[in-house]
Structure 1
Amino acid sequence: MKNKYVLMSGLLGIVLVGLVGGKQALADDTLNGNTAISAEVTAGDVTLDVDKNIDFGKKALADIVDFGSQDIGYTVTDYSGTTDGYSISAKLTDKDETRTVKLGDTVLSTDAAVVVKPTSNKVGENKDKVKAALSYEGVTSVKKFTSTIEWTLTKGRTEQIGE
């Protein structure tokens, strides 16, 4: 009888292993798959950052007080996706008949004038500088003069502006 139990136990074990093994073989396993990924690059910011303060120093009163020139640094950060240049215009926010301010070759007034116009630029930071010259003629009082330059950055092609 002992042999019958051993034989039945062995047969039952084989049947169970067969059933379990059979289920594994018949299972609907997924062995691979796909994931769709997407991303979109969009136009980013275009910004202008200019030196906030320029001090031309002190000069004695004279018929013509020429303060010389200094560089004004600027950075155009451009993530627009186009590298076809930009223009920077500047104007004085107040009128003073005794003052002459030049940026590059352009004499500033209260009307905006283009002072920087590169025809190409790179994506990211574009650092440069423009030479500023300051002089006063016909000044009759001793005081500290302060002026403000207002800057405007224009990005785009001529045909875009014309549309």
Structure 2
Amino acid sequence: MVTVSMTVNGKQVSGEVEPRTLLVEFLRYNLGLTGTHVGCDTSQCGCCVVHVDGDSVKSCTMLAVQADGSSVTTIEGLAQGGKLHPVQEAFRENHGLQCGFCTPGMIMSAADLLQKNPSPTEHEVREWLEGNLCRCTGYHNIVKSILAAAATMQGAARAAE
């Protein structure tokens, strides 16, 4: 067993894991953060996307020991102060949710995209989401939600200036 320590959603956590334990398993089973889904275990679907040190990562292909010392944000940590993140709000308002299984990964990927590219085109959003699969074929409303979040975040940034 190996002890891993990291900051998850702003809280310092640690736990003992086998060296082969995936980050997604540590989050779900050691920490009880079940919003990060396991869909394929092969890095194909994107349901397990989290942010590690600010970048989106498929947590089913990263070992927990690789995240030792890192800052991890899961879907549960995206909302702040009891208020949904603009991407979460946009998914709700624009019907970006269907069955909801892919939603955490889509939202985490989208939040990373908008951090890196605050004003993406529809084509750029679709390209960014290539590693995330929606089994309900809800891509139209997912893309619409991300573009709406981008507009909201741009408006908030302008208002703050």
Q: TM-score range by the shorter chain?
A: under 0.3
Indicate the structure whose relative CO is greater, using CA pairs within 8 Å and at least 6 residues apart: 1
Larger radius of gyration: 1
TM-score by length of 1: 0.23
